[in-house]
A and B are shown apart, each in its own frame.
Chain A
Amino acid sequence: MLRRSLRLVISSTVLSLLPVIAVVGSENPDFELEAGNEFYLHLHSQLQPLVINQIHSWHLELSNGTEAVQGASIDLIGGMPEHDHGLPTQPKVTAEIRPGVYLIEGIRFHMPGAWQMLFSIEVNGQTTNVTLDFHL
């Protein structure tokens, strides 16, 4: 199956723009994100290695740097900007399986190329948007 290097660029906004904080990439499809010194995200694919055409789940660990952030409301969308289309599925956060660890179900990528996922994280009425760009 496809093996690839993952290139990750994270940009984040908290209601308005915040600076890009982290760039992480490895063949291991885990992503560490830092958004505005406020949130830290660890995204872990349950599909290893991360390949196209297989539906799977991710774990999203959310913390503020010192402790887990519980009770967040998280939405996500994604797609391939170069091809002007979205994900082939509608993944959703379906549970907080441990304090600050959120289960995202229904992720599938159906093409090789540049993908983008946008996470919208709402905590205490404040929304943080994080964009994840990577290559499959």
Chain B
Amino acid sequence: MNKGFLKVGLLSVFMSLAAWNYFSIPLQPDWTYEQRQLLTSLSLSALTELPVDPSNEVADSELAAELGHGLYFDTRLSGNGSVSCASCHKPELMFTDGLPLAVGTDIGTRHTPSLVGISYSPWFYWDGRKDSQWSQALAPLESSHEHNTDRLRVTRTVAEDDRYRELYESIFGSIPTIPLEPFSATPLGNESQQTAWIELSHSQQKNVNQVFSNVGKVIAAYQRKIIPGRSRFDEYIDALKLSSANENEIYSSSEIAGLALFIGEAQCVTCHNGPLLTNNEFHNTGVLAISGQLPSMGRYDGIRAAREDPFNCIGLYSGANRSECIELRFARDNNELVGAQKTPTLRNIADTAPYMHGGQITTLTQVIEHYNEAPVSMLNHNEAKPLELRPVQLRQLEDFLLTLSAPLATEEHWLLPPAN
């Protein structure tokens, strides 16, 4: 065989492979009507008012948000006096902590999710074991590796702080008497804390639980202020609606190609939909178990925990009527939910690494590669299917995801500890 011919042939094959993998295909001429409709639904311009939380009577009270603001940053609400909500949900990191697993008073078992826009979700935690934001806010306080304190100490702190007490009583009326003894008591703590709790009278337990639940409700009122800001993505979509605007000046060709993949071939939009780019639902996407832990049962266990939670929507401390607890009453609980974790928002996703419920995946590039591969799930089945995207498409997808970052729409003073 002619060696020159062979070289030219091999070079052609090599060049073709390189072009296929690393050079972008020509852009589509324009978005279709259906694509434009879908894109419009993803813009923050389509974001509705915050949903009403019937279980939280003070969800939209400014006074409650002010009290919650103080409590959110207060390290006195921890066993060692050094941990606050803001220790893990850091405003400067889009209310995450940059760590694989949260670190409060000890190393935790889950990755800290962002709080940005999470008030729109009907479920909280990666496994959805809480059905309200206020009820969620209570759990870390009594978790041994987070705040490691207890409801009696928390309520005592509120009752004994003049500013907190004044705000509390303006919102809820007179604060009940909180026992000075024992020092610590909760039905969820260690043996001595549980014993101390049992020794409180029923009335004392109820008073403590009432104030404790109200602490959660004011923290939730504060967290409802944490709203994403408009990104270049929103500007691009909204420009599509204006015939005079040149949207191609807002997005590069690679970003447009990445967006086309996002809503098309890569199928991201099936779960990352709506203006917050999450359906707030639970999916098994074949993420490896967290190192040193058994694979998580996910939502399968989460919904069962939510139903048994005394601080859920139909519980004694909820402001809702049972008929208003629609999500809890009609939540599914079948085997499909084994290993399913909550879909996170993609707003500011470039700023909230690492990723997944255990922070198992370090970079956005690796997350995209994970979905391109769609590995077999350790539990149940991976709902995602291999995408078989080319390297150039993976890069385009990442270029697009980087455009979802923007400063929060939240007023600056809410992002800092209260002045006094």
From A7-15, A18-26, A85-93, A120-128, the one touching the partner chain is: A85-93
Number of A-B contacts (CB under 8 A): 62
Is A90 within 8 A of B330, CB to CB?
yes
What are 28 A-B contacts defined by CB distance under 8 Å?
A1-B41, A2-B38, A2-B41, A51-B41, A53-B274, A53-B279, A55-B122, A55-B330, A83-B383, A86-B334, A86-B336, A87-B332, A88-B279, A88-B282, A88-B332, A89-B327, A89-B330, A89-B331, A90-B330, A90-B331, A90-B333, A106-B329, A110-B273, A110-B281, A111-B270, A111-B271, A111-B273, A112-B273
Is B279 within 8 A of A52, CB to CB?
yes
B326 contacts the other chain (CB 8 A): yes
Which of these, A1, A4, A55, A112, contacts B269 with CB under 8 Å?
A112
A105 contacts the other chain (CB 8 A): yes
**Could you say which of B38, B270, B329, B330 has the most chain A C-beta atoms within 10 Å of its C-beta?**
B330
Where the two chains meet, the residues of B that have a C-beta atom closer than 8 Å to any C-beta of A are 37-38, 41, 46, 122, 269-271, 273-274, 279-282, 326-327, 329-334, 336, 383
**B-chain residues with CB within 8 Å of residue A106 when the two chains form the complex:** 326, 329-330
A3 contacts the other chain (CB 8 A): yes
**A-chain residues with CB within 8 Å of residue B271 when the two chains form the complex:** 110-111
Closest A residue, CB atoms, query B270: A111
**B-chain residues with CB within 8 Å of residue A99 when the two chains form the complex:** none
Measured between alpha carbons, how far is A105 from B383 in the docked complex, in Å? Answer: 26
Other A-B pairs beyond A4-B37, A105-B329, A112-B270, 8, CB < 8 Å: A51-B41, A52-B273, A88-B281, A90-B331, A106-B329, A110-B279, A112-B38, A113-B270
**A-chain residues with CB within 8 Å of residue B334 when the two chains form the complex:** 86
For residue A26, give the distance in angstroms from its CB to the closest CB of chain B: 16
Measured between alpha carbons, how far is A136 from B330 in the docked complex, in Å? Answer: 21
**B-chain residues with CB within 8 Å of residue A3 when the two chains form the complex:** 37
Measured between alpha carbons, how far is A83 from B332 in the docked complex, in Å? Answer: 17
**Could you say which of A84, A86, A89, A92 has the most chain B C-beta atoms within 10 Å of its C-beta?**
A89
**A-chain residues with CB within 8 Å of residue B37 when the two chains form the complex:** 2-4
Main SS class of interface, A: loop
Given the known inter-chain contacts A89-B331, A105-B330, A106-B326, please indicate yes or no for A83 contacting B270, CB distance below 8 A. yes
Where the two chains meet, the residues of A that have a C-beta atom closer than 8 Å to any C-beta of B are 1-4, 51-53, 55, 83-92, 105-106, 110-113
Is B330 within 8 A of A91, CB to CB?
yes
Closest B residue, CB atoms, query A80: B270
**Could you say which of A52, A88, A91, A92 has the most chain B C-beta atoms within 10 Å of its C-beta?**
A88
**A-chain residues with CB within 8 Å of residue B46 when the two chains form the complex:** 1
Measured between alpha carbons, how far is A111 from B273 in the docked complex, in Å? Answer: 7
Measured between alpha carbons, how far is A112 from B332 in the docked complex, in Å? Answer: 19
Measured between alpha carbons, how far is A111 from B343 in the docked complex, in Å? Answer: 12
**A-chain residues with CB within 8 Å of residue B279 when the two chains form the complex:** 52-53, 88, 110-111
**B-chain residues with CB within 8 Å of residue A110 when the two chains form the complex:** 271, 273, 279-281
**A-chain residues with CB within 8 Å of residue B270 when the two chains form the complex:** 83, 111-113
**B-chain residues with CB within 8 Å of residue A90 when the two chains form the complex:** 330-333
Measured between alpha carbons, how far is A105 from B273 in the docked complex, in Å? Answer: 23
**A-chain residues with CB within 8 Å of residue B269 when the two chains form the complex:** 112
Closest B residue, CB atoms, query A113: B270
Is A105 within 8 A of B336, CB to CB?
no
Measured between alpha carbons, how far is A105 from B324 in the docked complex, in Å? Answer: 11
**Could you say which of B38, B271, B279 has the most chain A C-beta atoms within 10 Å of its C-beta?**
B279
Measured between alpha carbons, how far is A85 from B271 in the docked complex, in Å? Answer: 13
Measured between alpha carbons, how far is A53 from B279 in the docked complex, in Å? Answer: 6
